[in-house]
């Protein structure tokens, strides 16, 4: 009888384990579809029946790190507490070590994280694909991730016996996309994942995301559509299509959003998205009213995006004061990690409509550039900043951002270099303008006049009002020579005359060298024979000195009359 009872217990345990494994797999599937609420509930149910289920614990932590369903944002604190508690009773569980390593990596404790990862690899002898995937995932999902290390471990997974896990290639694609900004290698790995699982919508979707960052409509739209065709239940692809059509065709946007909602868990963000349709349809008052109601009813739990949405509504109506008021509130309520680059550029543009906000606006443009990952987006932010400060006539800002735009331009043209130099000249940053025009422009474009011209002007601007130091003497000589010898010399007549007048003035007034002054005035007449001003000064400087005049004879004094003696 004991043997029979033991067998029954074993069967029951095996059955329970099988059910638990099925539930964990279901939870992972919910997470794959970004159905975070369902994933969280599923893993919690497994742990309620078996608190020591290591796989359920790991994946619940991953769900919390991806998005907390209650607030719509990540909950790193809860994930950390979960892993710490589980490690107290399962200290050598490789999957939990990988999970805790991810927490430490996000906290910037790179050495501690790597030690956890290496211990997990050692315990599994480097042959467990799930552990190697977890380490790759931890690095891919953290800004502190080590791309080379993650690629090494994920490639190690592909070399294991009977390897057939498309997720490994997806994670390799994520490392290349998120840490190395290498779209080519990312696409290659996502395609390898599709070779192993042709129905893997996630891989096709992530290919679309790469082309989306490149703003390549011809590729990202078909990729999102293909992801849906591969798996009509893959909600993230519907959401991206909704967002794409939001500003282009509000009816199409609503259609895609409804399809997304039909296959996804409800999130608080969904209410915001539905209200935002009012903004897309330019129904500003309805949008403002509904957003304000949400803020009022939810209080501190209200999504900060409602403040931003109201700001956009007011801004589009030309009400900058209310736009700034709500943007101030948005920046006060939103978490730092949830700002997007466009938040900073929008705030900067609104700030510039009010005097005294130039420095704060520039700071926000700086944050936008730093937050953007694609070089093209960084450059656009810098160019927008330069244009905004040019319009606001804040010359220090214009000078700084023209420089940033130039540095971010892969192959800057002559016009970009000129704008950078001229912006610094206009702002009174003459030494910086000097280094640009004299130090770069002349060497890079020796057959163009602008380097010589503005080099001379910036040197002259650094001198005193009398040009007593003669800082621009050599630059003006070079300018005159270029203007006279250029194939377009007729076009540069005025620049040659300007150069010779400066030189004539300097040698006459500062060096007291009339011969050199006359030499340059005659150069003016070579360029412009009818120049009466030059001719007049030549006449004055070459005129012989006036003859000395005889001194006036004083009237002879009469001899004194002697007094007669009496």
pLDDT tens digit sequence for 256-288: 999 999 999 998 889 999 999 999 999 999 999
Report pTM: 0.77
Q: Which domains does the chain have, with CATH numbers?
A: 463-539 (1.25.40)
Q: Would you place residue 12 in the very low, low, confident or very high pLDDT band (cuts 50, 70, 90)?
A: very low
Over residues 48-104, the pLDDT tens digits come to 999 999 999 999 999 999 864 344 456 889 999 999 999 999 999 999 999 999 999
Q: Would you place residue 10 in the very low, low, confident or very high pLDDT band (cuts 50, 70, 90)?
A: very low
pLDDT score at 181: 86
Cross-strand pairs, 73: 68
User: Which residues have CB under 8 Å from 104's CB, separation 6+?
Assistant: 110, 112, 113, 116
- pLDDT at residue 563 is higher than 80: no
**What three-state secondary structure class fits 125?**
coil
Structural contact between residues 479 and 499, judged by C-beta atoms closer than 8 angstroms:
yes
Instruction: Give, as one character, the DSSP assignment of residue 441.
Output: I
pLDDT score at 213: 87
Q: Would you place residue 165 in the very low, low, confident or very high pLDDT band (cuts 50, 70, 90)?
A: very high
Over residues 352-403, the pLDDT tens digits come to 999 999 999 999 999 999 999 888 899 999 999 999 999 999 999 999 999 9
Sign of the four-CA dihedral 528, 533, 536, 542: negative
Supply the Cα-derived Rg of the chain in whole angstroms.
Answer: 38
- pLDDT at residue 171 is higher than 50: yes
Structural contact between residues 54 and 95, judged by C-beta atoms closer than 8 angstroms:
yes
Q: Token digits for 421?
A: 């130099």
Q: Please state, rounded to an integer, the average pLDDT across all residues of the chain.
A: 92
Q: How far apart are the first and last CA of the chain?
A: 185
H-helix segments, 246-374: 250-262, 268-280, 284-298, 305-316, 320-333, 341-351, 358-371
CA nearest neighbour of 110 among 151, 60, 155, 146:
146
pLDDT score at 198: 97
pLDDT score at 108: 95
């Amino acid at each position: 009888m004991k043997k029979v009872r033991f067998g029954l217990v074993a069967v029951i345990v095996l059955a329970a384990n099988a059910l638990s494994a099925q539930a964990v797999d279901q939870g992972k599937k919910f997470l794959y579809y970004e159905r975070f609420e369902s994933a969280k509930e599923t893993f919690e149910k497994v742990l309620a029946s078996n608190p020591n289920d290591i796989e359920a614990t790991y994946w619940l932590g991953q769900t919390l790190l991806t998005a907390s369903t209650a607030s719509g944002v990540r909950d790193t604190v809860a994930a950390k507490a979960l892993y710490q508690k589980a490690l107290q009773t399962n200290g050598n569980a490789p999957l939990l070590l990988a999970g805790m390593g991810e927490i430490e990596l996000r906290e910037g404790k790179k050495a501690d994280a790597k030690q956890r990862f290496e211990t997990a690899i050692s315990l599994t002898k480097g042959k467990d694909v799930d552990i190697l995937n977890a380490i790759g995932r931890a690095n891919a999902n953290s800004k502190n991730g080590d791309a080379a290390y993650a690629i090494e471990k994920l490639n190690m997974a592909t070399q294991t016996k009977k390897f057939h896990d498309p997720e490994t290639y997806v994670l390799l694609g994520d490392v290349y996309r998120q840490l190395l900004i290498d779209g080519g290698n990312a696409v290659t790995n996502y395609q390898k994942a599709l070779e192993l699982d042709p129905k893997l919508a996630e891989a096709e979707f992530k290919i679309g995301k790469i082309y989306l960052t490149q703003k390549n409509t011809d590729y990202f739209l078909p990729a999102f559509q293909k992801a849906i065709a591969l798996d009509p239940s893959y909600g993230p692809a519907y959401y991206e299509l909704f967002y794409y059509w939001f500003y282009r065709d509000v009816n199409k946007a609503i259609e895609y959003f409804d399809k997304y909602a039909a296959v996804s868990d409800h999130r608080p963000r969904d209410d915001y998205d539905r209200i935002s349709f009012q903004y897309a349809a330019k129904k500003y008052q309805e949008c403002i009213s509904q957003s304000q109601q949400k803020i009022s009813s939810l209080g501190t739990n209200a999504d900060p995006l409602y403040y931003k949405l109201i700001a956009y509504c007011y801004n589009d109506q030309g009400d900058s004061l209310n736009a700034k008021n709500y943007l101030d509130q948005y920046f006060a309520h939103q978490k730092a990690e949830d700002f997007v680059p466009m938040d900073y550029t929008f705030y900067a543009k609104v700030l510039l409509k009010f005097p005294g906000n130039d420095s704060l606006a520039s700071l926000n443009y700086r944050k936008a550039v730093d937050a953007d990952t694609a070089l093209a987006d960084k450059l656009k932010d810098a160019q927008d900043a330069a244009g905004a400060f040019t319009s606001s006539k804040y010359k220090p800002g214009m000078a700084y951002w023209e420089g940033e735009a130039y540095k971010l331009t892969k192959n800057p043209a002559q016009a970009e270099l000129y704008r950078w130099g001229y912006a610094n000249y206009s702002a009174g940053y003459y030494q910086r303008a000097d280094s640009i025009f004299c130090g770069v422009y002349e060497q890079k474009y020796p057959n163009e006049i602008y380097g010589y011209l503005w080099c001379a002007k910036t040197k002259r601007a650094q001198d005193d009002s009398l040009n007593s130091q003669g800082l621009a003497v050599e630059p003006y000589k070079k300018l005159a020579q270029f203007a006279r010898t250029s194939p377009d010399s007729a076009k540069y007549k005025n620049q040659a005359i300007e150069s010779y007048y400066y030189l004539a003035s300097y040698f006459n007034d500062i060096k007291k060298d009339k011969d050199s002054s006359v030499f340059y005035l005659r150069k003016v007449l070579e360029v412009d024979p009818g120049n009466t001003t030059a001719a007049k000064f030549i006449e004055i400087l070459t005129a012989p000195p006036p003859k000395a005049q005889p001194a006036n004879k004083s009237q002879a004094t009469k001899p004194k009359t002697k007094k007669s003696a009496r």
